[in-house]
Amino acid sequence: MMDKHQVKDVIKSIPSSFKQKRKQKNVFNFFRFAIILALFVVIYMNIFKHLMSEERGVSGISWVESFYWVLTTMSTLGYGDITFSGDSGRLFSMLVMFTGVFYLFIVLPFVFMEFLYKPFMEYQTGSRVPRKFDPGKEKHVILTHYDSVSHALMDKLTQFGYPFILVIENLKQALELHDMDIPVMLGNLDEAETFENAGIKHAAMVVATDDDIRNVNIAFRARDSSPDLTVVSTCNRATSEEILSLAGASHVIRSAKQMGSFLARRISCTDNNTHVIGSFDEVQIAEATIHGTPLVGKALKDTTLRDEFGVNVVGMWERGRFQLPEADAMLNNHTVLLLAGREQNFEKYDHKFSSFSQNSSAVIIIGAGRVGRETATSLESMNIPYRIIETDEKKCAMVKNAIQGDASVKSVLERAGINNAPAVVITSHNDESNVYLTIYCRKLRPDIQIITRAFLHRNVEPLHRAGADFVMSQDHMGANTIFNLLNRAEILMVTEGLDVFSQKTPKSLVGVKLKDSRITEKTGCSIVAIKGDAGTIITPSSEHQFSVNGEIILIGDEAAEKSFERKFCSH
């Protein structure tokens, strides 16, 4: 395994600029044409001397006269002061003229376009894209690649007022992004000067979301320019994680592993136990199905969950639709509760409800790609049985419990156990296929839990409408993870567009009673727990007062979170 110094040596050996290579090739082509032209001129001068000497019957034709004739003939000026009278000389004159025409219409336009017109146009159009970023008072984020993850991250940075600059190497792409009003800068990412021009000394973070090899180079250059800076990189292959860390990445995010782990954690209908999906110190956030329990048929206010177990219902799922808790909300067999509590609270809850309904049948995973394999690994660590359906024979061989076949065929799904499975996880990277399979599985099993991965964020809503209980897009998950590394309040993504997040108690709320704050009415956020002088209170009363140096844990979508910051934190 290479050490850090060896990695640096490898990266330094990477060519400094692909654009420079293209220019060098063009210059070489130009000189090649020029040399060939010079050879033609020399050859034609010698032939002219020979033919003209024979025609005139004299020797000693000067080189100046020869060059003059070749030049006027090849340039098609044709003054006519020196001409051949014989057929051989005239045939030779035509050959020289054709050669001249070729160079006049081929070589000269090439020289003009490549070395005069194109540089001028690049300068004219490229002048619209800055080569340097002027950092303001706030620390900014440097993005080094434009893709779905960085696009989602830019939306989040804009939403919360974080400045950023996107560094692009290709002028055409930079112009397109500039016309989209995206803060963009032109520069080569394998040059230290580019990072200096991007204001890396005043940056909060550098983000690399390109392929693994490019990310290694970017992490190395950024770390070289700013040794203490946070450098975040995405990673596709497990073997690249260590290389990226050696190159200088502070955080390496394996998107497939992260997505697989998330999808596995969403499976909550194998039993009625609480399934923890995240935590804020001692405050844990969990989900629990209530199928077959005495809670079914009751209104939320009649469940006594808070008094009996110390858990706080902070939200409910109904067929993939999330709603904040309302006292009169009725619970049914399809309700999934989102709970907040401590470990001991969930142990009491599980002791009461875990024996009512269990489904030990295998979970079905459709797709054995990176995300599918990571989902299987996570389920295996949770001791949950699974079966994977995959059409590709090679991918089938990479996992256990695989069934080779097409998941859109009923017999294949039945062989995998669709009739008894508690959940199906759809991990294909093709969103059209995911919509089709979601509708099909919902038709075959109306009561099954369907968890789907969306490749593009715009397909999240169609997948929900198709019947998926939970949908997560990989670009937003990656963007959310990167955003959380900006030394800001911690965020736990419950599902697409819904977060549990913590905030320091704003000055505007210090000393205010919970009932008087009207946080939910004003922002759309719901309070999960409150930290203060009295410790952590998961089920605060309406008379509770917010204290100095406290913390509030809330749940809401991005708009609600922004609304909370605007209405309470900006004073």
3-state secondary structure 90-136: HHHHHHHHHHHHHHHHHHHHHHHHHHHHHHHHHHHHHCCCCCCCCCC
- pLDDT of the residue at 127: 65
CATH 1.10.287.70 range(s) for the chain read 18-126
pTM score above 0.85: no
Percent of the chain whose predicted confidence (pLDDT) is above 70: 90
User: Domain 140-249 has what CATH class?
Assistant: alpha beta
Arch. (CATH architecture) of 271-353: 2-Layer Sandwich (3.30)
**Residue-averaged pLDDT of the chain:** 85
Residue of 551 and 59 predicted with greater confidence = 551
CA distance 551 to 371: 35
Stretch(es) of the chain classified as CATH 3.40.50.720? 140-249, 363-476
Q: What single-letter amino acid sits at 112? A: F
Banded model confidence at residue 417, pLDDT cuts 50, 70, 90:
very high
| 18-126 is classed CATH 1.10.287.70 | yes
- In this prediction, residues 474-491 reach a mean pLDDT of 78
**CATH code for the domain defined by 497-569:** 3.30.70.1450
Residue 418 has pLDDT above 60, yes or no: yes
- Taking the chain, what is the end-to-end CA distance rounded to the nearest angstrom? 53
Q: What is the mean pLDDT of residues 199-222?
A: 93
From CA 223, how far away is CA 144, in angstroms rounded? 14
- Average pLDDT of span 98-102: 85
Residue 21 confidence class, pLDDT cut points 50, 70, 90: low
Residue 506 has pLDDT above 70, yes or no: yes
- Which CATH architecture group holds 363-476? 3-Layer(aba) Sandwich (3.40)
Structure tokens at 262: 């998330």
Q: What residue spans in the chain does CATH classification 3.30.70.1450 cover? A: 271-353, 497-569
What gap in Å lies between CA 62 and CA 324, rounded to an integer? 100
What pLDDT, on the 0 to 100 scale, is given for residue 13? 45
| Confidence at 12, pLDDT banded by 50, 70, 90 | very low
pLDDT in tens, 114-161: 776 776 666 555 567 888 998 888 899 999 999 989 999 998 898 778
Residues written for the chain: 571
Per-residue pLDDT, averaged over 407-436, amounts to: 93
Give the residue, 274 or 205, on which the prediction is more confident. Answer: 205
Q: Can you give the pLDDT at residue 1?
A: 44
